[in-house]
């Protein structure tokens, strides 16, 4: 059986290392998920790489980029960028956070099973997930499941 693909959004490597000690719980959940990644095929995109490359601290940047080394990288194309612009234009994601729209559009256009993120406000919030699901269904687009490491970890313990 083919392993489901899981898109690694920028918050995942950031909380894996949690350089700023923002959330011990998120770090623990992220490390636990990453240690149990064998059930998935991880992927990222050039958008993820670009965000990680913008990390000001050179040591942190090196560790973050090393984290996703060896993961298949999805190139950004016109279809992805047009869909991301549409998510913003239709008010699903604020313009200021258009990179989040690119992450979502990448998973939708590429038929990725899961988008893994700690971005609750713009991606993983239950109301946002429903809005994205309804919008994509209405437009005849693929529906990616948006999940947090915690949500997937809970499913590991119930199997």
Taking only the tens place, the pLDDT of each residue in 32-89 is: 999 888 889 999 999 999 999 999 999 999 999 999 999 999 999 999 999 999 999 9
pLDDT in tens, 146-159: 999 998 887 655 55
Burial 63-101 (b: 16+ CB within 10 A, else e): ebeebbeebeebebeeebbebbeebbeeebbeeeebbbb
Instruction: List domains and CATH numbers for the chain.
Output: 5-158 (3.40.50.1010)
pLDDT of residue 92: 97
């Amino acid at each position: 059986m083919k392993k489901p693909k899981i898109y690694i959004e920028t918050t995942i490597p950031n909380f894996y290392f949690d350089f700023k000690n923002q959330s011990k719980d998120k770090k623990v959940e992220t490390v636990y998920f990453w240690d149990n990644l064998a059930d998935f095929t991880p992927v990222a995109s050039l958008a993820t790489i670009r965000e990680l490359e913008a990390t000001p601290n050179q040591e942190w940047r090196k560790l973050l980029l090393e984290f996703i080394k060896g993961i298949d990288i999805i190139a950004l194309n016109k279809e992805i960028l047009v869909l991301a612009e549409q998510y913003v234009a239709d008010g699903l994601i604020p313009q200021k956070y258009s990179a989040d729209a690119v992450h979502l559009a990448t998973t939708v256009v590429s038929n990725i099973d899961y988008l893994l993120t700690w971005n609750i406000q713009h991606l993983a919030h239950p109301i946002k997930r429903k809005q994205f699901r309804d919008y994509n269904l209405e437009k005849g687009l693929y529906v990616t499941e948006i999940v947090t490491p915690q949500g997937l970890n809970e499913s590991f313990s119930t199997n």
